Structure 1
Amino acid sequence: MKTRIVKRNYVNADGESLLYLHVTKNYQRERIPLDIYVPASLWDPKKARLKPDTTKARDINLILDNVDSKITGIRTMFRLAEKQLSLEKFIQEFRNSIPRMDFLAFMEYQLGQEKKLLKSGTVRRHKAVLNKLRRWRDTIYFTELDEALLTKIKVHFKSLGNDSTTIESNMSVIKKYINAAARAGIRLPITGDDIKVGSTRGHRTDLKAAEIKKIHELFFSPFINQRYRLTAGYFLFSCFTGLRISDVKQLKRKQLDEQNFFFVSVKTGKRQWVTISEKLRKIIEEDERLFVQMPTNEEMNRVLKKIATLCGIDKNISFHVARHSFATNFLRMGGKVQDLQKILGHSKISETMIYVHIVESEACEKIKIMDNLW
């Protein structure tokens, strides 16, 4: 592969011409504009630099030295990684400047590249992991990414208060970007296969009917903080429908005027129907801000923890607990698991059966009433 910096023949009104990088390989040629303008009369085509020794010339020549260094860096990286450097890959590397030293910079770059392909919730989750890592270190070099460092990263996540499920979820994100780095030709002390991610399913916290009733009473109380009321309204809506927060956030108030409405699930892409029950209608009508104003996910989860404290509920509540609560209470009330599968939009009945097992385990606990036999 051959590269050279050349000046465009066209001269603008200021007497300057645009510089290009010419790249040729196997009779293919590409021309990349460098967005650098130089005085046409002072350009030395043999040296590919400006001729007079002036401050401006030295500054421009220094920039061109950096261009040459960048080209050398790309060639070196591919040679060390024992990867074939095609014309297409060279242009991609030159234009995009993939970070090849700092893993955190690479994560940020790669996330920016994939942002439009990922769901908003996934982008937020990956950004959260990146921010957690940056709270620990400003830079993590690829050369130090080994099993010992990954163990230290887990310890850091634990120090932030993350439970085992969250830590494993964080590690799955890190594994994704390590695999992406390997595909980009970056050499690493480990591979994605070396990272064993544990279960990310975790314990499914749910609220019993009496606990939901406490939040329901707080929602209708005239003394409730209005910020709390809005979050409580959305949470109760999910408790009575089983909708994920991503689906709740896409709904508009005018959709809820009908007795039945449909939506397309953000996560699954499936078309789902919802029927507005009598209790649900009263909740919607109680606060006209519902499905007009929408707090962030983080704000609602913070407020829900305060609501739980106010209601005397000793459980770690997030918005997703509402979906679990709907599922378990639906079964407790005698609902069929096949119907629950359709309502929740599960592709496989095995996903829904998890809630059946939760309810069944509660029934097994009732054997303890035999302790009152005498």
Structure 2
Amino acid sequence: MLQDQVFDTLVDTKKMFVSKMKTKIVKRNYVNAEGESLLYLHVTKNYQRERIPLDIYVPADLWDPKTARLKSDSLKARDINLILDNVDSKITGIRTMFRLAEKQLTMEKFIQEFQNSIPRIDFLAFMEYQIKQEKQILAKGTVRRHKSIVTKLRNWRERIFFTEIDESLLLKMRSHFKSLGNEPTTIESNMAVVKKYINAAKKTGIRMPITSDDIKIGSTSGHRTDLRPEEIKKIHQLFFSPFMNERYRLTAGYFLFACFTGLRISDVQQLKRKQLEEDMFQFISVKSKKRQWISISKKLREILDHDDRLFVQVPTPEEINRVLKTVATLCGIQKNISFHVARHSFATNFLRMGGKVQDLQKILGHSKISETMIYVHIVESEACEKIKIMDNLW
């Protein structure tokens, strides 16, 4: 049994400096009404001592302080002793990981590793753990997207061991995404997320047979689908139709609102109807963290007044995107539509109507004009196509 473990916690390339950290499982003196005492893990290093409660209660009279185990052959005692064996194994795993990674194991890092239980074998378990840790700082849409990538990979393989992550596995991963019908840009976007978590794992000292430089990510920008004015008009007419399905109407209303403002779905979700009562409203963009102001145009006011559920009831992004495909079919629009198409449609139509690119940059909240110029290039390419009218010269 391991009850008193000594760790070599600092490795140098020329020689090893030994800094002793001792751990020991001990029983608390206090005995509760059931005759049980709580177990603690005592950790000492450089005259510093920490006591970590293990949330394990044992019969006080059966505890052997020398072996740090229960002196009984009962089923319950065997189960508890097995749990304590796992505690020792966990401690050894932390020691081994830091030793192999040639990183110093401080008291703070040991406690963090021990309490947080960072998965260090299964990459997918590590992704799930890391997503949970970053949930408060990531946008809700980002969390959903990262979770969906984990689900795609889990459906492919139950576990992906860090030790098998190499270029060959990443090629197979790309093939799996392709087999699901993912577009090339979506595949690259998925792989960019995989790379992010591989980098995060490496920062915690996890080793694998691949480096970050080995993971090449292609273009994730893709083709920007947008709707022409006549296509938006069809959705507008359907929205105001008395025969419109109420579920479809609500989704169409949000989509039209974005077609006239360029808002992302994450910003639409945070707006409340009360904010839209005046002729202008402000909000802080979820993605850019910038404060933006937008005026309520005549058409926007008509859309808001036509359905008082807007910005009171907000369907999930998944629900909105599902319904939008039906709305497009009803309008005879043969394009693959998602909510983000509304933002692209606003940008291109704003420029088609003679809007200035500098104004568009401010409305969209772009930090760099180069982001906005993408839409200028789209409109310019359309203008170049107009030269074909000369075919009708005679």
Q: Secondary structure, in 3 states, of the residue corresponding to 1:112?
A: helix
Seq. identity, %: 81
User: What is the Cα-based RMSD across aligned positions, in Å?
Assistant: 1.2
Among candidates 285, 305, 319, match of residue 285 of structure 1: 305
Question: Displacement of 1:77 after TM fit?
Answer: 2.1
The CA distance in 2 between the partners of 1:19 and 1:189, in whole Å, is 39
Q: Does 1:103 align with 2:128?
A: no
Which residue of structure 2 aligns with residue 295 of structure 1? 315
Of 235-244 and 5-14, the range deviating more from structure 2: 5-14
Number of matched pairs: 374
Question: Displacement of 1:54 after TM fit?
Answer: 2.7
**AA partner of residue 146 (structure 1):** D
TM-score by length of 1: 0.97
Deviation string, structure 1 residues 20-76 (Cα, Å, up to 9, x no partner): 111112222111111111222222111111223333322222221121121122212
Q: Does 1:243 align with 2:282?
A: no
The CA distance in 2 between the partners of 1:135 and 1:243, in whole Å, is 34
Which residue of structure 2 aligns with residue 146 of structure 1? 166
Where do residues 1-374 of structure 1 align in structure 2 (5 Å cutoff)? 1-374=21-394
Deviation string, structure 1 residues 317-353 (Cα, Å, up to 9, x no partner): 1111101111111111111111111111111111111
**AA partner of residue 24 (structure 2):** R
**AA partner of residue 108 (structure 2):** E
Deviation string, structure 1 residues 250-306 (Cα, Å, up to 9, x no partner): 111111111111111111111111111111111111111111111111111111112
Q: Which runs of 5+ in 1 are unaligned?
A: none
**AA partner of residue 341 (structure 1):** Q
Deviation string, structure 1 residues 219-248 (Cα, Å, up to 9, x no partner): 111222211111110000000111111111
Contact 1:165–1:200 (Cα < 8 Å) also in 2: yes
Which residue of structure 1 aligns with residue 12 of structure 2? none
The CA distance in 1 between the partners of 2:267 and 2:73, in whole Å, is 64
The CA distance in 2 between the partners of 1:356 and 1:55, in whole Å, is 73
Deviation string, structure 1 residues 87-140 (Cα, Å, up to 9, x no partner): 222111111111111110110011111111211121111111111111211111
Question: Displacement of 1:18 after TM fit?
Answer: 1.1
**AA partner of residue 289 (structure 2):** G
**AA partner of residue 128 (structure 1):** S
**AA partner of residue 213 (structure 1):** K
Deviation string, structure 1 residues 297-316 (Cα, Å, up to 9, x no partner): 11111111121111111111
**AA partner of residue 249 (structure 2):** R
The CA distance in 2 between the partners of 1:143 and 1:274, in whole Å, is 51
The CA distance in 2 between the partners of 1:281 and 1:155, in whole Å, is 47
The CA distance in 1 between the partners of 2:386 and 2:27, in whole Å, is 84
TM-score by length of 2: 0.92
Deviation string, structure 1 residues 201-220 (Cα, Å, up to 9, x no partner): 11111111001001111111
The CA distance in 1 between the partners of 2:58 and 2:173, in whole Å, is 48
The CA distance in 1 between the partners of 2:79 and 2:325, in whole Å, is 57
Q: Which runs of 5+ in 2 are unaligned?
A: 1-20
Contact 1:176–1:192 (Cα < 8 Å) also in 2: no
**AA partner of residue 65 (structure 1):** D
The CA distance in 1 between the partners of 2:152 and 2:170, in whole Å, is 14
